[in-house]
């Protein structure tokens, strides 16, 4: 065997071409797409929280603080994940670029995984990491128009909350991409994703509350009079235990399952 062949890097045998595909997907977030998300998420998150914190002096009984950030993330990020991910494969089919990409030394599984990883990381950066960092820095430094001063929560607990909301994005992106391997139309895919989000939010059964992420984030904005907060808000603001943890584990398992199923189904697709 030639010496050069012995030291040459070997491609990853399970998901060949994944690295290049992920870099390509992340590159889409560096231009206009990233700028649009930066502006939109800044307006949605920072402006709403500024209004809720220092501009709203109508004498409301409830004061929200970091609970409002959690609420914004739970309302907006799943919907954004569904809207973005529904185009991941459908757009490639429509533009007839999937067959061109797959003609290169990449696997179909790598193609699907790269879509999930790229969309998830881009959305997590602009909606969660960037906005969360800004809020964590400025919110405890301002004087609220109503209510008590805002205390900065424990940093490690805040990181856990950031991680959970990042997992929510991964779940909805993986689920939506998986659906597009079965259904080639945006409307039905978006409708199914919306139904799943609503069911998680309302948690009509105990099983849904315990084994989906809805068990942690379900509920309305907290009220200091009634003392009712979401479980994840109680964990962050009042140092309560994180319960139910089963919802986090099951959501991670479901996201992985959707990724595997979507990859396997896409292998059978004909171009």
Summarised one tens digit per residue, pLDDT across range 213-258 is 887 877 655 554 455 678 898 899 888 998 878 889 999 999 999 9
Give the confidence band of 1 by pLDDT, cuts at 50, 70, 90: very low
The answer to whether residue 3 sits within a structural domain is: no
* Average pLDDT over every residue of 163-176: 96
The answer to whether residue 159 sits within a structural domain is: yes
Residue 30: strand, helix, or coil: coil
Measured distance CA(203)–CA(197) in Å, rounded: 10
The answer to whether residue 25 sits within a structural domain is: yes
Q: How many CB atoms lie within 10 A of CB 2?
A: 7
The answer to whether residue 8 sits within a structural domain is: no
- Answer with the residue of higher pLDDT: 184 or 171: 171
Q: Is the pLDDT of residue 203 over 60?
A: yes
The answer to whether residue 196 sits within a structural domain is: yes
| Distance in Å from the first CA to the final CA of the chain | 38
The answer to whether residue 9 sits within a structural domain is: no
Measured distance CA(83)–CA(163) in Å, rounded: 21
| Most confident among 9-23, 91-105, 146-160 (mean pLDDT) | 146-160
Distances (CA, A) of 136 to 51, 132, 152: 16, 6, 7
Give the confidence band of 90 by pLDDT, cuts at 50, 70, 90: confident
Number of domains in the chain: 1
Nearest to 13, CA basis, from 115, 113, 106: 106
Measured distance CA(105)–CA(91) in Å, rounded: 21
Half-sphere exposure of 168 (CA within 13 A, CB side): 31
State the residue range of the domain holding 86. Answer: 16-267
Q: Average pLDDT, whole number, for the chain?
A: 84
> Hunting for tokens 């906005």 — which residue is that?
131
Give the confidence band of 267 by pLDDT, cuts at 50, 70, 90: confident
Measured distance CA(74)–CA(76) in Å, rounded: 6
Q: Identify the bridge partners of residue 228 per DSSP, sorted by sequence position.
A: 223
Nearest to 123, CA basis, from 192, 28, 205: 28
pTM of the model: 0.88
By the 10 Å C-beta count (0-12 exposed, 13-18 middle, 19+ buried), 183 is classed as middle
The answer to whether residue 121 sits within a structural domain is: yes
- Answer with the residue of higher pLDDT: 1 or 21: 21
pLDDT over 70, % of the chain: 85
Does an H or E element contain 228, and which? none
Least confident of 19-33, 73-87, 108-122, 213-227: 213-227
The answer to whether residue 10 sits within a structural domain is: no
Measured distance CA(23)–CA(21) in Å, rounded: 5
Measured distance CA(58)–CA(144) in Å, rounded: 12
Give the torsion through C-alpha atoms of 121, 234, 131, 50, to 10 deg: 160
């Amino acid at each position: 065997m030639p010496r050069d062949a012995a030291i040459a890097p070997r491609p990853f045998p399970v998901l060949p071409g994944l690295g290049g595909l992920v870099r390509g997907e992340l590159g889409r977030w560096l231009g206009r797409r990233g700028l649009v998300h930066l502006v939109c998420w800044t307006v949605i998150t920072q402006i709403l929280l500024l209004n809720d914190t220092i501009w709203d002096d109508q004498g409301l009984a409830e004061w929200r603080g970091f609970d409002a950030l959690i609420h914004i993330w739970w309302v907006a990020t799943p919907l954004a994940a569904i809207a973005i991910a529904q185009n991941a494969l459908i757009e490639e089919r429509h533009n007839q670029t999937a067959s061109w990409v797959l003609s290169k030394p990449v696997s179909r599984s790598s193609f699907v995984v790269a879509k999930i990883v790229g969309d998830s990381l881009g959305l997590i950066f602009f909606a969660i990491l960037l906005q969360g960092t800004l809020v964590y820095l400025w919110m405890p430094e301002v004087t609220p128009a109503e209510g008590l001063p805002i205390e900065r929560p424990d940093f490690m607990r805040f990181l856990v909350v950031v991680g959970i909301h990042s997992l929510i994005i991964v779940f909805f992106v993986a689920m939506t991409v998986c659906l597009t391997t079965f259904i080639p139309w945006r409307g039905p895919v978006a409708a199914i994703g919306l139904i799943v989000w609503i069911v998680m939010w309302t948690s009509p059964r105990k099983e849904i509350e315990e084994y989906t992420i809805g068990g942690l984030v379900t509920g309305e904005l907290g009220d200091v009079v009634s003392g009712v907060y979401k479980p994840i808000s109680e964990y962050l603001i009042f140092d309560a235990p994180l319960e139910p943890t089963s919802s986090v584990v099951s959501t991670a398992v479901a996201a992985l399952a959707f990724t595997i199923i979507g990859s396997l189904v896409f292998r059978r697709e004909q171009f």
